[in-house]
Amino acid sequence: EDQVTQSPEALRLQEGESSSLNCSYTVSGLRGLFWYRQDPGKGPEFLFTLYSAGEEKEKERLKATLTKKESFLHITAPKPEDSATYLCAVHVSGNTPLVFGKGTRLSVIA
């Protein structure tokens, strides 16, 4: 069974304190790994797609990386507005839907 596990479940950072969120997966044939941001009461908002091991993508203070077993979302010098739940999802093959992890709830304190 395809599985996606995110850690930690919750993370509290001081403003400016860099850290990383982890998404590990056990799937039979990864076609793509997706990162989303979700604010309370809102739908998930697309951040990145990674397709192959070694790939990296950046957007402002966020950088996503991918290996054969996991992905990291690195947050550099976070600000309070980065507070949100970050979701990871995998696309395995064919017409299968995205499989989501439970997310990491990030709080950045000023």
Partner 1 sequence: GAGVSQSPSNKVTEKGKDVELRCDPISGHTALYWYRQSLGQGLEFLIYFQGNSAPDKSGLPSDRFSAERTGGSVSTLTIQRTQQEDSAVYLCASSLGQPVVELFFGEGSRLTVL
Q: How many CB atoms lie within 10 A of CB 106?
A: 21
Q: How many CB atoms lie within 10 A of CB 25?
A: 22
CB-nearer residue toward partner 1: 31 or 79: 31
* Binds partner 1 (CB under 8 A): choice among 21, 33, 64, 89: 89
22 is a site residue for partner 1 (CB under 8 A): no
* Binds partner 1 (CB under 8 A): choice among 50, 87, 106, 108: 87
Q: Which of residues 30-59 bind partner 1 (CB under 8 A)?
A: 31-32, 34, 36, 41-46, 49
Least separation, in Å, of the C-beta of 91 and partner 1? Answer: 5
CB-nearer residue toward partner 1: 12 or 79: 12
